[in-house]
Homo-oligomer: A and B are copies of this chain.
Amino acid sequence: MTKWPIPHAMQLALDAARAAAAEGEVPIGAVVTRGDEVLAVAANRTRTPPDPTGHAEIVALREAAAKLGSERLIGCDLYVTLEPCAMCAGAISHARIARLYYAAPDPKGGAVEHGALVFEQKQCLHKPEVYAGMGESEAAELLRDFFKARR
């Protein structure tokens, strides 16, 4: 049996998630790419410095925008290990991300295929193409192990 390989960018996001767990942050990672170029690799960073908006997606989008010198990330894709929440889905739309790839669904906090369904609102000015499931088991296991160890 050959397992279908996880794309490089999602693998980088999973690696970032793993590193975040080691620092006590919830293990979620995100990567922004433009073609083959990796523009930003980030993980959840809500504690140091304290930042309620410090989800992996937000950190990655801000870094990519700074790098490109534009708040619109035209032609860029975002890879993230967990289904984005309402805050992050909104940010992805504002940033004009072309394609969103996420690993695990998040019934409790996700807002792409759950809850607020941010991209499905008729007000949503920009909706990325959305692909889910690559690296799902790896991403979910990271989160499960993290929260199990903290109980």
Chain A interface residues (CB < 8 Å from chain B): 46-47, 49-54, 58, 61-62, 65-66, 68-73, 85-91, 93-96, 107-111, 114-118, 121-125
Q: Is the CB–CB distance between B52 and A91 below 8 Å?
A: yes
Q: Given A52-B61, A71-B46, are A90 and B85 also a contact pair (CB < 8 Å)?
A: yes
Query: Are A53 and B121 in touch, CB under 8 angstroms?
Result: no
**CB < 8 Å: which of B52, B70, B86, B110 contacts A72?**
B52
- Give 8 CB contacts A-B under 8 Å: A52-B71, A52-B94, A52-B95, A53-B91, A86-B89, A87-B94, A88-B90, A116-B116
Determine the chain B residues whose CB is within 8 A of the CB of A68 once the complex forms.
Answer: 50
Task: Give the chain B neighbours of A118 by CB distance below 8 A.
Answer: 86, 111, 116
Using CB atoms, name the residue of chain B closest to A86.
B90
Chain B residue nearest to A95 in the complex (CB): B52
> A51 CA to B64 CA in the complex, in Å?
9
Q: Top 10 closest A-B pairs, CB basis?
A: A87-B90, A86-B90, A52-B95, A116-B116, A50-B71, A115-B123, A115-B121, A52-B94, A52-B71, A50-B65
Residue of B nearest to A65 (CB): B50
From A46, A53, A121, residue with most partner B Cβ within 10 Å: A53
